[in-house]
């Protein structure tokens, strides 16, 4: 399995550990019960319920392996490693699209925690990558499918964003 280091916030690691626990204790038992029940129906060769349950079991076991590898390879984000006035993993960044003058706010996170609908963008995404290392009032060029978009960094701070839907930027 891929042993690539995964950078996580403490919140992100907690979510992964919670999902892993849920898969192992709840979902694994539920799918095993479904398989056992489907076997009682008789001939397994034409038993759609059995096939469906076996596929779900394979998915759950694969997800468990992936989450365990993520935890094994996790490196917790340490804010003290970064300059406070630069965009880094864990930063909340306010940017302005210089073409349409719209402002956006994002939290820069590792790829395992990325969730664009909740304004959590990966440091590996085009926008996240372009912002990393830059300071307030600097302008960055981001190559997107619709062309190059210029953003001005208006504010940088640490913390986490509240959960709510985001406006889409590139």
**Band of residue 159 on the pLDDT scale cut at 50, 70, 90:** low
Please state, in angstroms and as integers, the Cα–Cα distance from residue 37 to each residue in 44, 54, 58, 144, following that order.
11, 12, 17, 50
pLDDT tens for each residue of 8-46: 888 888 999 999 999 999 999 999 999 998 888 777 777
Instruction: Look up residue 152 and give its two tokens.
Output: 């001005």
Average pLDDT over residues 154-167: 64
Other beta carbons within 10 Å of 108: 24
**Band of residue 164 on the pLDDT scale cut at 50, 70, 90:** very low
Cβ atoms of 45 and 112 within 8 Å: the answer is no
pLDDT recorded at residue 58? 96
pLDDT recorded at residue 62? 96
pLDDT recorded at residue 169? 45
This prediction has a pTM of: 0.67
pLDDT tens for each residue of 102-154: 999 999 988 888 999 999 999 999 999 999 999 999 999 999 888 899 999 99
Average pLDDT over residues 71-92: 80
What is the overall mean pLDDT for the chain? 86
pLDDT surpasses 70 at 68: yes
Average pLDDT over residues 83-102: 88
């Amino acid at each position: 399995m891929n042993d690539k280091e995964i950078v996580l916030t403490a919140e992100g690691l907690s979510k992964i550990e919670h999902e892993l626990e849920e898969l192992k204790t709840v979902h694994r038992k539920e799918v095993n019960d479904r398989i056992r029940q489907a076997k009682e129906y008789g001939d397994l060769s034409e038993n759609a319920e059995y096939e469906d349950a076996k596929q779900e079991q394979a998915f759950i076991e694969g997800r468990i392996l992936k989450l365990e590898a993520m935890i094994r390879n996790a490196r917790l984000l340490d804010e003290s490693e970064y300059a406070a006035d630069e965009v880094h993993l864990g930063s909340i960044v306010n940017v302005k699209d210089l073409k349409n003058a719209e402002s956006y706010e994002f939290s820069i996170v590792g790829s395992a925690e990325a969730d664009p609908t909740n304004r959590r963008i990966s440091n590996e995404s085009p926008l996240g990558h372009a912002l990393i290392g830059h300071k307030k009032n600097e302008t960055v060029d981001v190559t997107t499918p619709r062309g190059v978009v210029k953003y001005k960094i208006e504010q940088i701070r640490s913390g986490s964003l509240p959960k709510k839907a985001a406006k889409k930027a590139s």
